[in-house]
Amino acid sequence: MMIEERLEKIEKELAELKQEVIIKAREVCAYTHTVEDNEGKTRGALTMVKDRVGLVLFDAKGQSRVRLAETAAGPHLRLEDENGKPRIVLSLYENLPSLQIFGEAGEVIWSAPLAEPCRKKRILRHSKKGKK
């Protein structure tokens, strides 16, 4: 075989391998997948920790703002403020839905379902500041 023929054969094989890689790249198996913006900052991550999966979204400053997780008790969605503190948490714990809203200091200012005494009085549970 001449050098030109060998080179042509190698180029053909390389082209076939590239095509195969492109086809297989549609399915990627990994423990963590990250999404970066044009500046290389991580803006999202899909992770696997032990046998649980979670999704975290970050703002432009790199602070987590949204967390979605599948936990042993059920799914959990957490919206965080610019400091990473939870402000709204929606979860399904043992098939019972729960929603909590937190103040700046981390205190629960509203939650549902309401505690049993609050349900009977038909009032909303708020912070100790006396807001209704």
pTM over cut 0.85:
no
Residue 55: inside a domain, yes or no?
yes
Residue 132: inside a domain, yes or no?
no
Residue 8: inside a domain, yes or no?
no
Residue 118 near residue 112, CB atoms below 8 Å: no
**Ordered per-residue pLDDT tens for the chain, 132 residues:** 788 888 888 888 888 877 766 655 555 667 788 999 989 899 999 998 888 899 999 999 999 999 999 988 889 999 999 999 999 999 998 888 999 999 999 999 999 985 444 444 333 444 444 444
Residue 104: inside a domain, yes or no?
yes
Number of folded domains in the chain?
Answer: 1
CATH of the domain at 52: 3.90.930.1
Could you tell me which residues come within 8 angstroms of residue 77 by beta carbon, excluding any fewer than 6 positions away?
A: 66, 67, 68, 89, 90, 91
Token pair 């046998």: residue: 51
Residue ranges making up the domain that contains 89: 29-121
Q: What is the DSSP string of 68-94?
A: EEE-SS-EEEEEE-TTS-EEEEEEEET
